Amino acid sequence: MTSRTLLRPTAFVDSPFGHDGKVARLGGGLNWFAAVELIRVDGRARGSVELLPVEGIENLFDDDMAAQWEALTSARGPLQVGERTIRLDQPQVMGIVNVTPDSFSDGGRFADAAAAANAGADMAADGAAILDVGGESTRPGAKPVWEGDEIERVVPVIRQLVGGGSAVSVDTRKADVMTAALEAGARMINDVSALTYDGRSAGVIAASDVPVVLMHHKGAPETMQDDPHYDDVLVEVYLWLEERIAEAEQAGVRRERILIDPGFGFGKNVSHNLELMNGLALFHSLGCPLVVGASRKRTIGALSGEAPVERRLGGSIAFALKAVEQGAQLLRVHDVFETVQALRVWRGLRDQALTPRV
């Protein structure tokens, strides 16, 4: 059994002013933290936890911890999606464009290509930095879609959105769909299987050199919510993503092109999702931009009297703000206008805190 120590930033402060040497900046963003939780891991679960101040903590590091610290405190470079440069020193929004008849979130409202493209254009106008187009539902219980059908769904939408000047990602786990989407103008891949579903996917991404989101999941969509179990969900998801990053790099994907997503709701119950959100800052020590997709998820309904999907906006905003308070760089959401508005208010608060008094 191997042992190591993971670093989770905590004790976030409004401003670094007057705290020289006592706080550190998280990922080059707008968040500073004053303490670190040292999580001792034995195998794939927590053995012990110790909370220490940032000041002087580097004196305790072994090589692994020093590498994590470097990843935690290094700035994330901008995301290049085609001709669009998206800064990651502040949180950004990715709008969800479902071109499916059975999406959990919108009931197939945008299954028609024209309606989906118009919805995406509206999201861009409302402030979405990236539009994520998907043609296969991966909600709990969903069945796989033939790649030919998936291509027919997404390609016309991608072409129209790219033609309108939007930065477009394709949400797929199939290499042929990735290839068709890239030919249509998409310049980012969001793979909910983290390149495990189709053995050719990593090669497509390596050859095209586009950004890719590696998302944690446990099980196939058909069965992933059938009593998922973890000994320690936070540690297990972290180690799994660490392994997937390494395998993607070995396949030729450049690390600076990799983003990670802890996969809320993908093989996780309410307790698992909440634990992941509370511990989210841990994932920054993997050194990749962090994507969070908790919008309208089942956990929100479970915590609010079984509210239906269309009545989960408040909970979605709560999750979004909890994520950016822990440095998440990209929020994948359905309700773009409301989320962008919430982030602008959050940014106003941060800007005020970071304005020196004179």
Alpha helix (H) residue ranges in 82-211 = 113-125, 147-163, 175-184, 201-208
CA pair distance 20, 18, nearest whole angstrom:
6
Strand partners, 93: 331
Comparing CA positions, the residue from 142, 215, 156, 213 lying closest to residue 184 is 156
Spot the catalytic one: 297, 298, 312, 350. 297
Catalytic choice (296, 298, 332, 350): 332
Give counts: helices (H), strands (E), the chain.
Answer: 10, 14
CA 26, CA 22: separation in Å to the nearest integer?
13
Give the span between the Cα atoms of 265 and 237, in whole angstroms: 13
Q: What CA–CA distance (Å, rounded) separates 270 from 297?
A: 10
Spatial contact of 25 and 32, defined as CB atoms under 8 Å apart: yes
Pairing between strand 291-292 and 330-333?
parallel
The two structure tokens encoding residue 205: 């991404």
To the query of whether residue 332 is one of the catalytic residues in this protein, the response is yes
Rounded Cα distance, 153 and 26, in Å: 39
Instruction: Map residue 97 onto helix, strand or coil.
Output: strand
Q: What are residue 265's phi and psi, to 5 degrees?
A: 85, -5
Residue entry with tokens 């959100």: 277
The SS3 assignment for 123 reads: helix
Active site residues: 297, 332
